[in-house]
Structure 1
Amino acid sequence: MNNGMKKGLAVLAVSMAMTTGAAYASPAAVTKADNLVPISAEVSQSVQVTVNNQVLEAEGYMKAGAKEAMIPLRAVAEAIGMELKWNQEDYSVELSKDRIWTLVKTGEDRYVLNKMYKPLGTAPELVDSKLYVPASFASEILHGTVNAQGSAVSISFNEKKENVVTKGVVTSVRSADGYKAVQIQGFGTAGLVLNVGDDTVFVTDKGDKLTFDQLALGQIVEAEHSMVMTMSLPPQTPTYKITVSGYSADAEKLLGTSGTVEEVRTDDNGSQSVTIKGQGLTEQSQSEIVLRLSDATEVVDKEGAKADKKALVKGAKVIGFYNGVMTKSLPPIGGAVKIVVDVEPEAAAAQAE
């Protein structure tokens, strides 16, 4: 081997060593390969982003052929006071403010809204260590108003709460993994789900304070909640205040069955009973039960207003509430405490007169 060749190999060895050392020093070298989310789309133009009349320093961009602009997630979220939590393991970020909570994951068109996935047509993209989301994220997930014109996107958020008051009978009380909700006016895909948070107020109709744990099946409540609702079935909405009518600390815990009246019977003494077949509201509730009506049985509509017992006919959609005292027959027989009849409030009022 001549001296020239030896010198060339030596230079090559040094170059390889320097390249290897640089690779170990690079932050990318310690990043797991399966966590990398490559973004290859070309940016055609920059987009100015304005939030509540304030131009953001961070710009968005519009890709060639895209339907909408991409906006900087952190800059937009921080502009409206949202808290962000970045997860390096899966390149996701949690955002929260008041009763709004969502999860955004790089490369996945599945945005979390009230524990449900909602696609927007475009996945979040990580560009130059910044996460970008489609402009529709601000309207569909954060409930803002988006106006996109040319190379500018204007986003506005109405900080003033526009509230709605809805009445109904409680059919479900849920608490799991920090998520709390109350369902009224129906069960399953029917009715309305009231999402509650740490600042939701619970009171009786006399003004006495209650806690979430004091809510129960069969209670008639009045909920003050946001006008904003999800498009899910049932719809969900952030709730500010829940007022319980006729609350009693000594009230017995009720079970419930949602379904259809299969049979209506009247015995020789004039006492009436209904057979309800459907779905139990809780694990302890029956899917089919015979409920005996008494003078103390309340018959109401889905808003909790008084309804006529004449509405209890075969085929009627009802929710029956009863205590745990039942016969061991099939189906079991129990006493009806309250029956919700699925009739329109106006019709129920006319029947009750």
Structure 2
Amino acid sequence: MKFNKILVFTIAGTILTSSLIASAEYNPNKVTKGPITTMNVKVSEELQDSYDNMKFVLVINGKGLDLKENNIYTKDNTIMIPLRIVSKALEYEIKWNNEEKTIDLTKGPHWITIKPGEDYYTFGKKAPIKLGTASEILKDRTYVPLSFLTDVLNIDVSIDETGVININSENSISEKKELLEIQGEITEINKTEKSTMIWIKGKKTDAGEKSVILHINDETPIVNPITDEELSIKDLKEGDTVRGFYGPAMTKSIPPQGKAEKIQILKDITVRTGKITSIMNNEKANQILIGDKANGIVLNISKETKIVTQDNKELSFEDLEEGMEIEAFHSIIMTMSLPPISSAQKIVVKNTDI
């Protein structure tokens, strides 16, 4: 592949073979005892900082970046850029983690790790991302592939035919967020000038942590999930049962901290998700079974039970079918039977063409 073919497209999602520069972390005050271990990172003798005498120029949010001695170069048709100077321009804090031997980038709740010399990049608690190009150390500076910006940091990047690389962190590429969730009790609320922090303690599930601190502000959606009424921060109280949704970008602290994408105030209800495995219709009540008889729950469906699609289209009990994936909001009061029986207040049918 000729490199000049790379310069004609806008990088969105995966940048074919382009990559980003990263700079190595160096602490001049650090004393290392014993033998010093270095990473054997091979750097090509044929690295170039231009193509057909065309110099690369970095522009971040409309401002040119003075790279000083941190040259952009290409290797195997991959653009490599310096990590430290670019990260700082994007307002990321950059540190060397001596224990894990990683470079850590942080910005608010965002936390990224890079292993120098390896094709290993992580964002929050997501699985490691492979970009097809390892970061490498050149002249005591760490470089990463340009695709690090788009595929890991989710930043909009484009390259024009003159070699200008435009990086726009204010216009990030939209993506479907993989939200995690926690259902539990608010044990503590702390307010700062910029945001409010709520500490939620619950049960650990596959969908998230058992204890998290979520940062919320006036823009965070806070709702009553039954009526869809919009609420505010002042409606949150210590002791309330809530359901918090948050992204995978979390701090390493205990408990981890992150930004809340949405808060549902549950109070005296709880949420169960799963498949409808049985539908019972008799003179006494309409009922559905979620899960199996050993670990599931039977829900009574009354005239007051709200049944809707994810798009909030109203449905009836007759629209429910076995095999449907649903989200059921029901009373915390349940019978002692097996399976337990409770009253459903709202049923949300997922992924349906109804």
Q: TM-score, normalised by structure 1?
A: 0.62
Deviation at 1:216, TM superposition (A): 2.4
Secondary structure of 1:69's match? strand
Count of residues paired in the alignment: 278
Amino acid at match of 2:48: Q
Question: How far has the Cα of 1:304 moved from its partner?
Answer: 4.6
Aligned residue number for residue 62 of structure 1: 74
4+ residue runs over 3 A deviation: 27-35, 88-91, 145-153, 160-166, 170-175, 178-181, 195-204, 206-215, 238-244, 303-306
1:132 has 2:127 as partner: no
* Between structures 1 and 2, the one with greater helix share: 1
Q: In the alignment, which residue of structure 2 is the partner of 1:265?
A: 280
Identify the match of residue 270 of structure 2 among 254, 274, 278.
Answer: 254
Pick the aligned partner of 1:39 from 31, 38, 41. Answer: 41
Aligned to 2:86, the other structure's residue is in SS state helix
- Shift of the 343–198 alpha-carbon distance from structure 1 to 2, 3 Å rule, reads closer
- What is the root-mean-square deviation of aligned Cα atoms in Å? 4.5
Structure 1 residue 125: deviation in Å?
A: 1.2
Which among 299, 302, 312 is matched to residue 307 of structure 2? 299
Which deviates more, 44-53 or 69-78? 44-53
Give the alignment partner of residue 201 of structure 1, picking from 185, 204, 220.
Answer: 220
Are 2:84 and 2:142, in contact at CA under 8 Å, matched by a contact in 1? yes
Residue 314 of structure 1 aligns with an amino acid whose one-letter code is E
Aligned residue type for 2:101: Y
TM-score, structure 2 length as denominator? 0.62
> Of 239, 242, 245, which aligns to 1:216?
242
Per the TM alignment, residue 73 of structure 1 is displaced from its structure 2 partner at its CA by 0.3
Distance change >3 Å, CA 203–CA 340, structure 1 → 2: closer
Q: 1:90 to 1:276 in 2, by over 3 A?
A: closer
Residues 321 and 336, structure 1, Cα contact 8 Å, conserved in 2:
yes
Write the distance in 1 (CA, Å) between the matches of 2:317 and 2:303: 11
Percent sequence identity is 23
CA-to-aligned-CA distance 1:279-317 (integer Å, 9 cap, x gap): 9xxxxxx84121111233221222455332222122322
Query: Structure 2: how far apart are the matches of 1:115 and 1:326?
Result: 35
Query: Does the alignment pair 1:102 with 2:112?
Result: yes
- Distance across 2 between alignment mates of 1:274 and 1:37: 60
Q: 1:59 Cα shift?
A: 1.2
- In 1: Cα distance, 2:35 partner to 2:198 partner: 34
For structure 2, the residue ranges without an aligned partner over 5 or more in a row are 1-28, 51-55, 187-196, 208-212, 224-229, 250-257
Q: Higher relative contact order by CA 8 Å / sep ≥ 6: 1 or 2? A: 2
Q: Give the distance between the partners of 2:96 and 2:32, measured in 1 at CA.
A: 18
Residue 77 of structure 1 aligns to a residue whose secondary structure is: helix
Give the Cα–Cα distance (whole angstroms) in 2 for the partners of residues 333 and 198 of structure 1: 35
**For the Cα contact (< 8 Å) 2:268–2:332, is it kept in 1?**
no
Checking the alignment, whether the CA contact within 8 Å between 2:271 and 2:327 is kept in structure 1 is no
Aligned partner of residue 304 in structure 2, secondary structure: coil
Task: Specify whether residues 312 and 35 from structure 1 end up closer, same or farther in structure 2 by C-alpha distance, changes over 3 A only.
Answer: farther
8 Å contact kept, 1:139–1:145: yes
CA contact (8 A) 1:180 1:197 kept: no
Q: Which protein shows a greater Rg?
A: 1
Classify 1:212/1:51 alpha carbon distance in 2 versus 1 (closer, same or farther; 3 Å).
farther
Q: Provide the residue aligned with 2:290 in structure 1.
A: 276
- Residue 153 of structure 1: how far off its partner (Å): 5.9
Find the residue that maps to 1:209 and give its secondary structure: helix
2:129 pairs with one of 112, 118, 135: 118
Closer/same/farther in 2, CA of residues 164 and 316 from structure 1, 3 Å limit: same
CA contact (8 A) 2:154 2:173 kept: no
Q: 1:211 to 1:60 in 2, by over 3 A?
A: farther
Equivalent AA in structure 1 for residue 220 of structure 2: V
- Measure the CA separation in 2 of the matches of 1:261 and 1:311: 12
- TM-fit CA distance, 1:173: 4.3
The aligned runs of 1:327-338 (5 Å cut-off) are: 327-338=335-346
Matched, 1:316 2:342: no
Taking structure 1 as reference, are residues 304 and 165 closer, same or farther at Cα in structure 2, changes over 3 Å only? farther
> SS of the residue aligned with 1:42?
coil
Contact kept in structure 2, 1:46 and 1:151, CA below 8 Å? no
